[in-house]
Amino acid sequence: MKTGEDFFTVLKKNNTTVWVVGFVAILSILGSLFFAFTVYKDSTNNIYSINEKGELIPLKKLEIQNAELIQAKANLELFVDQYYNLDAFSMKRKRERVLWLVGDQPTIIIKDRANKGYFDEFLSIAGLTQNAEILQQTLKITKEVPYTAEFVVRIQRVNGGVSEFYNSTIKLKMERVNRNFPYNPYGLLITQFSESLQKVDVKSEPAVEEIKASEEETNQNPKENGK
């Protein structure tokens, strides 16, 4: 403040300056908060990876979730193959490998069936084979880990040219673990497991419709060029 200047005029100028500085500071804070919120929102919806050119590429978490869900379904297919698709040549290998896919509770169930001769039958009964497939239209699975799944497996048991058919209703839960190739390639462990077996007449209309619906569910992917 210089000599001769009006005291109140100077104060008014300083007051105006304070208000301007305060207003700019508030705008800066609000802008910073908005930027932080935008970054946070973007980070929760995207994961970034670097391609071979060194470019940063966002990957949608939804896409990753869908990819992981496909792996969970593939793990179910692997379990069904190891546990139900059996013959004299593959029985020993699959009997050992199926235990890599399950935790304590399912292990007790599988070992109990093994002690009752489930696996040994394929060695003691000449020509005994068993084929199985998931009825795809029955598959229900949650979208996040731990996965809870429920589905029906159609089993064909062939003995001396005579086929018997069964539906096994399965309920299970899968949790994420470390991958172990080739024993547990998808890194999912079945921690809870139950099955309910029922003999079916494969020539009956309901049984035929189940297979037809499963095939339609499997072939529902869109074709190229709409053809």
Using the structure block, give the residue that is written with the tokens 């896409």: 63
Two structure tokens written together for 103: 């935790």
pLDDT digits (tens, 9 = 90+) for 48-66: 667 667 776 667 766 888 8
Mean pLDDT (the chain, rounded): 87
Pure H helices in the chain: 7-45, 61-84, 91-97, 104-115, 121-124, 205-218
Work out the number of other CB atoms within 10 angstroms of the CB of residue 134.
24
Best-predicted range by mean pLDDT (7-16, 44-53, 59-68, 151-160): 151-160
pLDDT of residue 186 exceeding 90, the answer is yes
Per-residue buried b or exposed e for 15-39, using 16+ beta carbons within 10 Å of the residue's own CB: eeeeeeeeeeeeeeeeeeeeeeeee
> Contact, 190 vs 82, CB < 8 A?
no
Q: Classify burial at 79, counting beta carbons within 10 Å of its beta carbon; exposed 0-12, middle 13-18, buried 19 or more.
A: buried
Of 25-34, 35-44, 150-159, 205-214, which has the strongest mean pLDDT?
Answer: 150-159
Confidence of residue 175 (pLDDT cuts 50, 70, 90): very high
Percent of the chain at pLDDT > 90 equals 64
Could you tell me the CA-to-CA distances from 224 to 17, 70, 71, 220 in Å, in that order? Answer: 67, 21, 24, 12
pLDDT attached to residue 63: 80
Strand-pairing partners, residue 165, are 156, 200
Does pLDDT of 40 surpass 90?
no
pLDDT score at 65: 83
DSSP per residue, 185-218: TT-EEEEEEEEEEEEE-TTSHHHHHHHHHHHHHH
Element (H, E) at 176: strand 162-176
pLDDT of residue 24: 87
State the pTM of this model: 0.74
Give the per-residue pLDDT at 13: 67
The answer to whether the beta carbons of residues 79 and 190 sit under 8 Å apart is yes
The mean per-residue pLDDT over the stretch 23-31 comes to: 89
In the prediction, which pLDDT does 56 show?
Answer: 66
Single out the residue of 194, 121, 186 nearest to residue 152, CA to CA: 194
What interhelical angle do 7-45 and 61-84 show, nearest 10? 20
